[in-house]
Amino acid sequence: MSKKNWASHRQAKDEKMQRVAPLLEGKFAKTSDVVKILERLLNSGDKVVLEGDNQKQASFLSKALASVDPEKVHDLHMIMSSISRPEHLDIFEDGIASKMDFSFAGPQSTRVSQMIADGSLKIGDIHTYLELYARLFIDLIPNVVLVAADKADKDGNLYTGYNTEETPVIVESAAFKDGIVIVQTNEVVDKLPRVDIPGDWVDVVIPADEPYQLEPLFTRDPQHITETQILMGMLAIRGIYEKHKVQSVNHGVGYNTAAIELLLPTYGEQLGLKGKIVPNWEINPTPTLIPAIESGWVQSVHSFGGEVGMEKYIAARPDVFFVGKDGTMRSNRAFGQMAGQYALDMFVGSTLQIDKYGNSSTVTEGRLSGFGGAPNMGSNPTGRRHSTPAWQSLKPDDNPLGKGQKLVVQMVETYGANKRPVFVDKLDAVEVRKEAKLANVPIMIYSEDTTHIVTEEGIAYLYKTSSMAERQAAIAAIAGVTPLGMTSDTATLNDLRNRGIVALPEDLGVRRTDAKRSLLAAQNMSDLIEWSKGLYNPPAKFRSWS
């Protein structure tokens, strides 16, 4: 009986590393040798993680991967949290890769849809971020990971700084299961500000020819916030934040939530809510939160990633942000998703479509954008056991074994920027499932998890409904002049209002005429700089004021 080799994976890794030994000095390779390195370390069919969340991109390595010879490397199974750059899809057209498991594809969503239709891209599954990270340790264990760092020292220790983001979880999944860890670094230094990834976890370090790509994803210019969005922000503060005494929150990306952030020091102050709501946040260091921080509304902010231009401001506010002894923020996308799912009172986000039942999706006809982290934030985690007043406020009165629920809020204008109704009879995602050959309809947030919907018409308190018919009626009541909204009638609306299932602005004491831009704590980017005492440095593309 032959003796079993219990270290075959380790042996295979050692054999791979021998292929590149002549090209390495210790752990380091020359910038010019990056394509050779990849061609020797990648086997056709390998599972490969390419770091590329919705902000930080291992762009030097992604361009190099698109340059390998498809005769030498082909049919890779790519695992990416975000499909963000053109070469992320070029590799499929060239045959270098054939299958993709991912979370988000906002910048490339239209092309993803087209490539699925023509058969050049096969989708494994669309995931939430946390779900994708989890599978790296179960059934998507990577053979090779490609990640980005700010700095590396001579021993291969890495500093990832403000934008640590998803680097640790990706690296760990490979480093402890005989995968190969390849790192692009902006520079090599003698001493790091701090060690974020130990060199023992790293196999190859390649100095990049330019810094990794970084997107200011959460930056919103206040000058683009409309009076409709201000009205919706006032409704949300009065009818949800105050009503439920919300202490911890995550805001999605968008002008609706930016309006809320800029209304806290003004409208929130008028309502006497300072010190009573939202001291704790799980959110990127969004610049529109600066006035609320400076006004004393915010006690703590933990972030998924950094935000370009906020570095000096964060370093000067360590009581609020998670800042190391070196003076720079530490972000962690996996921990942020976990906190968003289990530790928050409330998630407030937006979407592209909501059906008559309350299911929502950002997957629409001709656009497969995926989910990102919204389903983690926007779900009611049944494993949660700790209670807070906001969570408890949704507990049913008639069930002795009942429990509370996370507040999951969708804020949408009844018609989107494309002038199409947000409220629809059937989600486009139903047909997309068939086209993409997915097992399930790609719904972002399910009706059962959605507790509130806010539009310019009012608020639907869906958690108060007792039947699907009543839920549909509540949604229609605040759906405006969309086809769904036109099914509502005055008698039903008044009944829902009387029972507190729907609230219009006048029911909440909100005057539509008060929803003026003058109510925002900052009118433009210049105001945000002034609030920050000159510490905020907006990216160039936002410096357009006169």
179, 214, 249 - which closes a domain: 214
Per-residue pLDDT for 364 more than 90?
no
pLDDT at position 157 is 98
Query: Is residue 138 located within the same domain as residue 173?
Result: yes
491-499: average pLDDT: 97
Structural domain including 434 reads 222-520
Tokens of 200: 């023992």
Per-residue pLDDT for 86 more than 60?
yes
Residue 543 placed within a domain: no
Query: Is residue 236 located within the same domain as residue 188?
Result: no
- Tens of pLDDT along 232-248? 999 999 999 999 999 99
167, 197, 214 - which closes a domain: 214
pLDDT at position 544 is 60
* Helix boundaries (H) for 104-226: 109-118, 129-135, 167-175
- Tens of pLDDT along 6-65? 999 999 999 999 999 999 999 999 999 999 999 999 999 999 999 988 789 999 999 999
Query: Is residue 142 located within the same domain as residue 244?
Result: no
What is the signed CA dihedral for 141, 152, 305, 340, rounded to 10 degrees?
A: 40
**Which residues in 384-471 belong to E strands, given as ranges?**
407-411, 423-424, 452-454, 459-461
Per-residue pLDDT for 546 more than 60?
no
pLDDT at position 196 is 97
CA–CA distance, 319 with 317 (Å, rounded to integer): 5
pLDDT at position 106 is 76
Q: Which amino acid is at 331?
A: S
289-309: average pLDDT: 97
Provide the greatest CA pair distance for the chain.
Answer: 85
Query: Is residue 161 located within the same domain as residue 292?
Result: no
> For 434-442, which contacts have Cβ atoms below 8 Å and span 24 or more sequence positions?
435/113, 435/116, 435/117, 436/116, 436/123, 436/368, 437/123, 438/123, 438/125, 438/126, 439/125, 441/361, 442/126, 442/361, 442/363, 442/368, 442/370, 442/371
Contact 531, 291 (CB under 8 A): yes
| Overall domain count for the chain | 2
What is the signed CA dihedral for 28, 32, 33, 36, rounded to 10 degrees?
A: 150
Residue 294 placed within a domain: yes
Query: Is residue 293 located within the same domain as residue 404?
Result: yes
Q: What are phi and psi of 468, to 5 degrees?
A: -65, -35
Per-residue pLDDT for 225 more than 70?
yes
194, 214, 234 - which closes a domain: 214
Residue 376 placed within a domain: yes
Here the CATH number for the domain that contains residue 171 is 3.40.1080.10
- Tens of pLDDT along 138-192? 999 999 999 999 999 999 999 999 999 999 999 999 999 999 999 999 999 999 9
The separation between CA 378 and the C-alpha centre of its own chain, rounded to angstroms, equals 11
Average of per-residue pLDDT values in the chain: 95
Residue 528 placed within a domain: no
Query: Is residue 486 located within the same domain as residue 393?
Result: yes
Residue 428 placed within a domain: yes
Query: Is residue 345 located within the same domain as residue 261?
Result: yes
90-98: average pLDDT: 96
Query: Is residue 463 located within the same domain as residue 332?
Result: yes
Nearest one of 135, 129, 82, 137 to 104, comparing CA atoms: 82
pLDDT at position 435 is 84
CA–CA distance, 89 with 92 (Å, rounded to integer): 5
Residue 269 placed within a domain: yes
Query: Is residue 175 located within the same domain as residue 304?
Result: no
Tokens of 184: 């692009």
Contact 252, 374 (CB under 8 A): yes
Residue 414 placed within a domain: yes
Per-residue pLDDT for 125 more than 60?
yes
481-490: average pLDDT: 96
Query: Is residue 207 located within the same domain as residue 262?
Result: no
Residue 14 placed within a domain: no
Per-residue pLDDT for 370 more than 90?
no
Query: Is residue 71 located within the same domain as residue 179?
Result: yes
Q: What is the pTM of this model?
A: 0.94
Query: Is residue 281 located within the same domain as residue 339?
Result: yes
CA–CA distance, 241 with 233 (Å, rounded to integer): 10
